[in-house]
């Protein structure tokens, strides 16, 4: 109460109460707006997760997967993926550079059992993305096909029939998924399991734990490799590409004289395109230029999504040269002579 000129007023008190009420209402309104904004943001995240494949301009390109019908576990699990940019006015400038030797930590794998069992899902980890490593571009109207080995996830798979789906991530919760494909994982025999573990160990230094990845077999394996006859045909077929790549990387022949049939004999739903690219790399190392240009044109007619691979090969950055110079026989610091591979007898002949 205020006294002024003998009169009593509550006006100031009334104004203060009104201000407090208005402030309280404003705070409540602001809180409601923030809650609504958070709900909308979460809903948008869910929408992005659920409807990413249907968006007009998604932040990641379409992804498609090709898999073999069956795989023997403990051996390489090779699948082919194609990233496709169907837009005519959108370029992707910071995509993960997926390849056989590169990390796949921007991918997630979903395996849904067809018998209603427990689903398997893991990835992504974003380790190299956070370090801005192994990045590439995908221009408008282009596509890239590459080969991946699912053992690089370093996770154990269980025998059974599944529907496989791969998702490529731009960042957490922003991704795009492939259509599912059917495949079956088969348990190896005890002899096959032991042989797979022996071969993987060739690339593991010291007492490093074996997580099932076959990448060290290619990048740290100064050994002559022979495959036990106890390995069945299916498992041997899964390993055939790795055996050829290993010999090309560490063997005594330069790429210019490496036998073409090592890759010409590799055929299948998943690896035919990869084998064709590797055969082209050998031809590029041999010449002459006219034959190389003819082979390039013929390959692109059949496998147009390999254009980026041929460009890398033309620039001297193909997979075989990378293996040989980065890890194998042509690197700057070769190992002692007693560790040089393929010096005793010929490489094992292909199985009939």
Reported as a single tens digit per residue, the pLDDT across 112-160 is 999 888 899 999 988 887 677 788 999 999 999 999 999 999 988 999 9
**What does the pLDDT look like over 152-182, one tens digit per residue?**
999 889 999 999 999 999 888 889 999 999 9
Average of per-residue pLDDT across 345-351: 47
Distance, in Å, from the CA atom of 260 to the CA atom of 141, rounded to the nearest integer, reads 33
Q: What are phi and psi of 48, to 5 degrees?
A: -65, -40
185 pLDDT tier (thresholds 50, 70, 90): very high
Q: Is the pLDDT score of 350 beyond 70?
A: no
Q: Is the pLDDT score of 214 beyond 70?
A: yes
Q: Is the pLDDT score of 1 beyond 50?
A: no
**What does the pLDDT look like over 308-342, one tens digit per residue?**
999 999 999 999 999 999 999 998 887 767 677 77
The percent of residues above 90 in pLDDT, for the chain, comes to 61
**What does the pLDDT look like over 273-299, one tens digit per residue?**
999 999 999 999 998 888 899 999 999
- Which residues are registered as beta bridge partners of 350? none
Cβ atoms of residues 247 and 227 within 8 Å = no
**Which residues have a Cβ under 8 Å from the Cβ of 200 and sit 6 or more positions away?**
210, 212, 213, 214, 216, 217
- Helices 319-326/233-250 angle, 10° precision: 60
Domain 62-186 has CATH 2.60.40.10: yes
Average of per-residue pLDDT across 182-207: 95
Both tokens of residue 18?
Answer: 């009104």
Tokens 């301009």 map to which residue?
57
Higher-pLDDT residue of 237 and 133 is 237
**Which residues have a Cβ under 8 Å from the Cβ of 318 and sit 6 or more positions away?**
277, 278, 281, 284, 309, 312
Q: Is the pLDDT score of 54 beyond 70?
A: no
Q: 172 in helix, strand or coil?
A: coil
């Amino acid at each position: 109460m205020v006294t002024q000129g003998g009169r009593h007023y509550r006006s100031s008190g009334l104004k203060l109460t009104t201000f407090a009420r208005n402030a309280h209402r404003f705070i409540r309104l602001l809180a409601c707006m923030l809650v609504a904004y958070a709900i909308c943001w979460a809903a948008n995240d869910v929408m992005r997760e659920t409807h990413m494949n249907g968006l007009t301009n998604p932040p990641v390109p379409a992804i498609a997967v090709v898999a073999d019908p069956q795989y023997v576990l403990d051996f390489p699990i090779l699948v082919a993926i194609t990233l496709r940019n169907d837009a005519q006015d959108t370029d992707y400038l910071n995509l993960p550079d997926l390849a056989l030797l590169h990390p796949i930590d921007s991918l997630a794998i979903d395996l849904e059992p067809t018998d209603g069992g427990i689903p398997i899902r893991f990835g992504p980890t974003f380790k190299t993305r956070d370090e801005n490593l192994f990045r590439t571009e995908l221009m408008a109207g282009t596509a890239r096909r590459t080969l991946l080995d699912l053992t690089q996830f370093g996770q154990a798979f269980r025998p059974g029939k599944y529907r496989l789906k791969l998702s490529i991530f731009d960042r957490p919760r922003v991704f795009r998924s492939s259509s599912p494909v059917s495949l079956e994982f088969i348990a190896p025999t005890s002899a096959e399991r032991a042989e797979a573990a022996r071969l993987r160990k060739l690339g593991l230094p010291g007492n490093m734990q074996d997580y099932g990845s076959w990448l060290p077999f290619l990048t740290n394996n100064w050994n002559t490799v022979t495959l036990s006859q106890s390995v069945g045909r299916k498992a041997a077929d899964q390993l055939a590409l790795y055996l050829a790549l290993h010999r090309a990387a560490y063997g005594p022949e330069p790429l210019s004289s490496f036998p073409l049939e090592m890759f010409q004999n590799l055929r299948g739903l998943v690896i035919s395109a990869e084998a064709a690219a590797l055969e082209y790399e050998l031809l590029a190392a041999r010449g002459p230029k006219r034959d190389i240009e003819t082979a390039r044109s013929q390959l692109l007619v059949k496998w147009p999504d390999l254009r980026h691979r041929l460009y890398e090969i033309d620039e001297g950055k193909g997979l075989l040269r990378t293996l040989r110079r980065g890890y194998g026989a042509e690197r700057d610091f070769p190992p002692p002579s007693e560790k040089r591979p393929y010096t005793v007898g010929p490489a094992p002949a292909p199985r009939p």
